[in-house]
């Protein structure tokens, strides 16, 4: 019996068929030759200068402000930055970190394992609600438990895909100054942009050292490369580097990527985004065809995720079983809630799945949702009939 097809909407990866194997192999030779015998040395706390210069240029061009490569430290993916800032800013277990109520599941797990208490702020279609953030920070201050920092995914938020508008970003920064709290922005999806204006990163709107920025090559290139960076101004950079214990990230990986991206960064990004947009649009079309009236879904202008809502009455256990049986991989909504609340949503990542499998994968997903709703309706009808029979007796 042949294996069942898997419809992989699970994790946030880009299109595998588009990975530049031959070009990267050529860049590897170039990068290795450029570094030469310096590979016998440690890369230093900041890392490969050439790649830092390219990433500083990336930020300068996108944000329209001058970014110094000396304000960047290369990391083992952006997730090392996520944990490094917590290690630097937390003084003891039990301290509070404020995030969006729905945020990246990896961050939730890491911060909880580090002993942090997470306090979630409600979100809407424009991201974190600043009125709620202001109230939250005020209440924490009154209790004598101010947070160590605010962590936010303001652009192409994971899991919802929302983008915080420019005016709200200024409001966030104003509230942070008012409460004297550090802001950490995770912008690993920032260049996975499809249409509309590009909203500015928070550090581009505020030159305070209390605004820290995290970015990555994972979403425009591949998670297997394990390269990201932290952007921080002095004296915050020194504070972060004081908690760096790894001797620096891979000089080899950085040298190869520097050689590859030196003359083709934006062409590479544009090519990837065109492929990803086509897949995103295919997901939209499939939901309009099969899920209209049953499911809701976000329409992100960037990033890799679509946040899919289903009727709250749907039997979650049946839904999980049905999706597993049909091998529709996804991420359950509860994984992204800071307290694990069983919200009636799931996240679809559209970058990795084959384009020709998108429609069938969405059709099967909607079929599973319909079955889970029907199961709940059948249980409710049965219980109602039992109550009626009991009353007759």
**Two structure tokens written together for 166:** 């420019």
Residues in the chain: 393
- Is the pLDDT at 383 greater than 80? The verdict is no
How confident is residue 388, by pLDDT bands cut at 50, 70 and 90?
Answer: very low
Give pLDDT, residue 271: 94
- Beta strand 345-349 pairing with 331-332: antiparallel
The per-residue pLDDT of the chain, averaged, comes to 93
How do residues 129-165 score in pLDDT, each as one tens digit?
999 999 999 999 999 999 999 999 999 999 999 999 9
Cα angle, residue 42 at apex, residues 41 and 43 outer, rounded to 5°: 115
249-260 average pLDDT score: 94
Q: What is the pLDDT of residues 73-132, one digit of tens each?
A: 999 988 999 999 999 999 999 999 999 999 999 999 999 999 999 999 999 999 999 999
Residue found by looking up tokens 């394992």 in the block? 113
Contacts of 352 (CB under 8 A, 6+ apart): 8, 10, 11, 13, 14, 15, 16
Fold (topology level) of 20-264: 3.40.640
Burial of 93 (0-12, 13-18, 19+ CB in 10 A): exposed
| Residue 58 predicted with pLDDT over 90 | yes
pTM of the model: 0.93
The reported pLDDT for the residue numbered 77 is 87
Helix ranges restricted to H, the chain: 21-35, 49-63, 77-89, 105-113, 130-142, 166-179, 236-241, 251-261, 265-290, 316-325, 358-392
∠ CA 267-268-269 to the nearest 5 degrees?
90
The answer to whether 156 and 303 are in contact (CB under 8 A) is yes
Q: What is the three-class DSSP state of 192?
A: coil
Q: Over range 196-224, report the average pLDDT.
A: 94
Domain 7-16+267-391 part of CATH 3.90.1150.10 = yes
Residue 93 token pair: 């277990």
pLDDT in tens, 301-315: 999 999 999 999 999
Where in the chain are the domains? 7-16+267-391, 20-264
Q: Is the pLDDT of residue 339 over 60?
A: yes
């Amino acid at each position: 019996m042949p294996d069942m097809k898997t419809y992989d909407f699970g994790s946030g990866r880009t299109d595998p068929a588009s990975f530049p194997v031959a070009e990267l192999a050529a860049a590897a030779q170039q990068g290795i030759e450029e570094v030469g015998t310096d590979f016998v040395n440690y890369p230093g706390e900041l890392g490969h200068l050439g790649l830092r210069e390219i990433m500083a240029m990336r930020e300068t061009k996108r944000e329209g402000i001058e970014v110094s490569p000396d304000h960047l430290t290369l990391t083992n993916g952006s997730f090392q930055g996520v944990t490094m800032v917590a290690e630097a800013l937390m003084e003891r277990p039990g301290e509070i970190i404020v995030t969006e109520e729905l945020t990246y599941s990896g961050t939730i797990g890491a911060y909880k394992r580090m002993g942090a208490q997470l306090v979630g702020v409600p979100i809407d279609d424009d991201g974190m609600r600043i009125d709620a953030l202001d109230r939250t920070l005020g209440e924490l201050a009154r209790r004598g438990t101010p947070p160590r920092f605010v962590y936010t995914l303001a652009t192409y938020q994971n899991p919802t895909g929302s983008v915080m508008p420019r005016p709200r970003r200024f409001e966030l920064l104003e509230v942070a100054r008012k409460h004297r709290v550090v802001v950490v922005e995770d912008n690993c999806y920032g260049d996975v942009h499809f249409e509309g204006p590009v909203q500015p990163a928070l550090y581009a709107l505020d030159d305070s050292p209390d605004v820290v920025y995290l970015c990555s090559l994972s979403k425009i290139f591949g998670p297997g490369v394990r390269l990201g960076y932290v952007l921080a101004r002095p004296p915050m950079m020194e504070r972060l580097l004081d908690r760096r214990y790894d001797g620096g990230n891979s000089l080899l990986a950085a040298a190869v990527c520097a050689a590859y991206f030196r003359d083709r960064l934006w062409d590479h990004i544009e090519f990837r985004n065109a492929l990803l947009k086509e897949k995103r649009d295919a997901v939209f079309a499939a939901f309009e065809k099969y899920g209209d009236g049953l499911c809701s879904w976000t329409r992100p202008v960037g990033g890799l995720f679509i946040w899919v809502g289903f009727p709250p009455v749907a039997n979650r256990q049946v839904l999980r079983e049905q999706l597993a049986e049909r091998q529709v991989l996804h991420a359950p909504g509860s994984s992204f809630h800071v307290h694990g609340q069983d919200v009636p949503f799931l996240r679809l990542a559209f970058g990795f799945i084959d384009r020709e499998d998108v429609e069938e994968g969405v059709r099967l997903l909607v079929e599973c949702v319909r079955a889970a709703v029907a199961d709940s309706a059948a249980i409710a009808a049965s219980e109602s009939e039992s109550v009626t029979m009991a009353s007759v007796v």
